[in-house]
Chains A and B, each alone.
Chain A
Amino acid sequence: MAAVASETVNLVINDVEIAVPKGELIVESVKRLGLEIPIFCYHPRMKPVGMCRMCLVEVGFKQPDGSVRKMPKPQAACTLPAQDNMVIFTDTEMVHRDRKGVLEFLLINHPLDCPICDRGGECPLQNNTLFYGPSTSRFIEVKRHAHKAFPLSKYVTLDLERCIQCGRCVRFTEEISGDSELAFRFRGASMQPSTFELRDFTSKFSGNVIEICPVGALTNREYRFRARPWDLETKPSICLECSNGCATWFDYRVNRLVRVNGRTNEAINEEWTCDRGKFGHEHYNADNRLTVPLIRRGDRLEECDWPTAYAAILSAFGVGGDKVAMLAGSSLSNEGAYLLNRLFHRKFGSANVDYRRTAHTLPPDEAAGNAPTAIADLELKPSILVFGNSPADDIPIIFLRIRKAWFKHGARVVVAHHGETEADSFADVVLRYAPGTDADLAKGLVAARANDAAGVAQAAAACGVDESRIREAAALLGENTAIVTTDSLLNSASGADAFRALRQLGGELNRYALGANDQGFADLGLVPGPDGRGTAAILAGCADGSIESLWLAGADPFAFGDRATVEKALEQVGFVVYQGTHKSEAMGFASVVLPMAEPAEGDGTYVNAERRLQELRAVLSPPGEAKAAWRIGAELALRVGMAKPYFGAKDVAAEIFTQVPAFRGVAFGDRLN
């Protein structure tokens, strides 16, 4: 949203006087009175284009003698800035007639196949027609025909017959996602939104055009024909496919997830989602979900009950100390992670717990204070340095903010990465360095800021970037710069050094987490203590026999570790607990399998990349006997006599609020201390 203008103007809307910021669009001003103007092409987050003419209003101006002189023709409210003495009419005979006309016109070529359209029931075209449109059409000629259900991409279906040519989808790819993959071809009634030469629509944010299309022209291929809106129940959720924690709606039908839509949260995702989040939740419905606890008998995993599984685990982990270890997976809730962490530290007396999966790690004192810049504040930064990551892949919604900072507020952006990134398209300076030379480039930037010519020359030689480029980039940086790195920087051998060097650059240095709740684990202290072992050391310990029992809490080491190492580790270690949602390869090595609920199947809190604490209330019920992470932790705690019983995730959260300093006094929706 634009900053609030200080200057206001007085206008009259339907006989009510109102003061609004000068230049505000009339379509927004009328909302202040609780009035509604029907719209199609206007979208509050994009520039107005006035293409559909649905928003017509009558406009007049107060004359010096007090009379009102009306303009002869109606005006589009979405392109009309508020001025002094304006008089707006949204409810006159003429306006109603014009709206009927516009709708009749829009429906001329619309197939009206609402009964089989996935948008039917939640369609702005249906709604506007019902409220403002004519009840019949005079058009009896043959309608425009086009290919039905054209697969625009893996996720999006295009039905050209239904398109009303509002241009929202085209503008989204130009203004918001920035890939400009959609454009209009042809003119007049044959105008079609599509990709160039009908190439695949590969945008990483393509799902949003489905939601902003005011008709059923762009529909969701995964949701196709799965339900009608009135079949659905919906609950608020948060997306835990990456660390951004976008607000979403979970739509489900008979306890089965059918689609995910964006939910407005101005602090994080505004209203957008990335495709990973919007289409990445099919694992909820997978056939290989775990539904009952399993225990190893001989070379088979047999079904058992929870008490048997717990008893086996507790006797195996009884050895305690350095002989046991836990690896945590990124979608465990704070509650689940906290309870297991405490079990290890207090009961098993072990500090071998870790969640980090990067090849290298920072020592604890350097790892703290990861994310000083809130996502929403990024757009107000005069300059942004993206270092050592591709934000559209690592942190997609933060990528949209960085782009918005440039597109809307003119931020200068420097992108330093060894590969191509989507952010290159709007960067002022792109620094493409040789892989592994992150630290050299970071030092070069520091040297350039300090006018140390020798330092710059040395860095340039080492990382293969032009000296002048480095200087050019450094000139754009300053105390107000936001530096955006992610944990993937630590996969590079010199990543940790780069991070240290970037610290001297000034500005706000962010190292955003990658996994859904990685930031929460960091703040809960789910890291090895001074005498504990980290992920790599734990796997090595399993392989050499110094660790006897390993707990995989939502973690699948095959997904991040080197194959041979992981296989050796899991083969050698005596006892493996696999606490997970799905069957996987690692499960084959398990001694006990605990079926876990997916995040939206249980209550829990999560911390996103900018350290915002968010609450997720159960949307679905878990399959079979699966349990939410907090419940598994709570039942174990009770069995080892550690706690008063917890009756819900809320009780555990309450304890976290008192026990963990970073969480003290933080409300849901706020950032941690």
Chain B
Amino acid sequence: MSVSLFKDVVKPIATGFGITLKRLSHKKETVFYPEQRREQYPRTRWRHFLTRYESGLERCIGCSLCAGACPARCINVVAAENTDEKRFSPGERYAERYEINMIRCIFCGYCQDACPTGAVVLRKNFELADYKRESFIYTKEMLLESFPGEADAPWVGEYEEVK
């Protein structure tokens, strides 16, 4: 069987590069992470936050409903009583300790669903990798937003959001 220079060599190469040429004009699908980040779907669920009311009071009332709903049983809530001198949340009860084990969490969002005050929310921050197991136990200090609305504020840092 003889090999035809045109049919068997030139034509396939031309076809192949032809596709490449055509694609050059297409829109790019990859982004330069981490300088660029893709916009996420509205219901994306990653890192938890404990949110605050406008007044600055914590929304969480330490009711443990999130812990009860969690299928991975990775939330630990220890409640205590507010006093007029030391008030954390409206009403009688607040969470003295609030911990989520992020290695166990399956990001189902049931906790957010169960929460009667909208305190615990899952937001879009997905960069949760770390070096030590212990650092995956997110404490109340880590979860609680430092000012009302922080959880919904755009990510901090230099980056460009691409569609």
Q: Which A residues fall within an 8 A CB radius of B?
A: 113, 115-116, 120-121, 148-149, 224-228, 230-231
Report Cα–Cα, A226/B81, bound state, in Å.
Answer: 10
**B81:A225 contact, CB within 8 angstroms:** yes
CB distance from A118 to the nearest CB of B (A): 10
For window 46-102 of B, CB contacts with A under 8 Å fall at 61-65, 67-68, 77, 79-81, 91-93
**A116:B64 contact, CB within 8 angstroms:** no
**B64:A231 contact, CB within 8 angstroms:** yes
The winner among B62, B63, B65, B77 for most chain A CB atoms within 10 A is B63
Report Cα–Cα, A226/B64, bound state, in Å.
Answer: 11
- Known: A115-B61, A116-B91, A116-B93. Contact between A230 and B68, CB under 8 A? yes
Q: Which B residues fall within an 8 A CB radius of A?
A: 61-65, 67-68, 77, 79-81, 91-93, 116-117
**B67:A116 contact, CB within 8 angstroms:** no
CB distance from A161 to the nearest CB of B (A): 12
B-side contacts of A115, CB under 8 Å? 61, 63, 65, 116-117
**B64:A149 contact, CB within 8 angstroms:** no
B-side contacts of A227, CB under 8 Å? 64
- Known: A115-B61, A149-B92. Contact between A228 and B80, CB under 8 A? no
Report Cα–Cα, A136/B77, bound state, in Å.
Answer: 30
CB distance from A177 to the nearest CB of B (A): 28
Q: In the complex, what residue of chain B is closest to A224 when comparing beta carbons? A: B81
Report Cα–Cα, A231/B76, bound state, in Å.
Answer: 9
Contact of B92 among A121, A148, A230 (CB under 8 A): A148
Report Cα–Cα, A116/B81, bound state, in Å.
Answer: 10
Report Cα–Cα, A113/B117, bound state, in Å.
Answer: 11
Contact of A225 among B67, B68, B79 (CB under 8 A): B79
Report Cα–Cα, A230/B65, bound state, in Å.
Answer: 9
Having A115-B116, A116-B62, A149-B92, one finds 14 other A-B pairs with CB under 8 Å, namely A113-B91, A115-B63, A115-B117, A116-B63, A116-B91, A116-B93, A120-B63, A148-B92, A225-B93, A226-B79, A228-B65, A228-B67, A231-B67, A231-B77
**A228:B92 contact, CB within 8 angstroms:** no
Report Cα–Cα, A224/B61, bound state, in Å.
Answer: 14
**A230:B91 contact, CB within 8 angstroms:** no
CB distance from B91 to the nearest CB of A (A): 6
B-side contacts of A226, CB under 8 Å? 79
The winner among A115, A120, A224, A227 for most chain B CB atoms within 10 A is A115
Q: List 22 A-B contacts (CB under 8 A).
A: A115-B65, A115-B116, A115-B117, A116-B62, A116-B92, A120-B63, A148-B92, A149-B92, A224-B81, A225-B62, A225-B79, A225-B81, A225-B92, A225-B93, A226-B79, A228-B64, A228-B65, A228-B67, A230-B64, A230-B67, A230-B68, A231-B68
Contact of B80 among A121, A148, A225 (CB under 8 A): A225
Name the 3 nearest CB pairs between A and B, nearest first.
A115-B63, A116-B93, A228-B64
Report Cα–Cα, A224/B79, bound state, in Å.
Answer: 9
A-side contacts of B79, CB under 8 Å? 225-226
Q: In the complex, what residue of chain B is closest to A253 when comparing beta carbons? A: B78
Q: In the complex, what residue of chain A is closest to B67 when comparing beta carbons? A: A231
Q: In the complex, what residue of chain A is closest to B93 when comparing beta carbons? A: A116
B-side contacts of A228, CB under 8 Å? 63-65, 67-68
Report Cα–Cα, A113/B79, bound state, in Å.
Answer: 15
Report Cα–Cα, A227/B80, bound state, in Å.
Answer: 10
Q: In the complex, what residue of chain A is closest to B61 when comparing beta carbons? A: A116
B-side contacts of A120, CB under 8 Å? 63
Q: In the complex, what residue of chain B is closest to A120 when comparing beta carbons? A: B63
Report Cα–Cα, A121/B69, bound state, in Å.
Answer: 12
The winner among A113, A149, A225 for most chain B CB atoms within 10 A is A225
Q: In the complex, what residue of chain A is closest to B80 when comparing beta carbons? A: A225
CB distance from A427 to the nearest CB of B (A): 43
Report Cα–Cα, A113/B93, bound state, in Å.
Answer: 11
A-side contacts of B93, CB under 8 Å? 116, 225
Report Cα–Cα, A616/B94, bound state, in Å.
Answer: 36
Report Cα–Cα, A205/B65, bound state, in Å.
Answer: 32
A-side contacts of B77, CB under 8 Å? 231
A-side contacts of B61, CB under 8 Å? 115-116
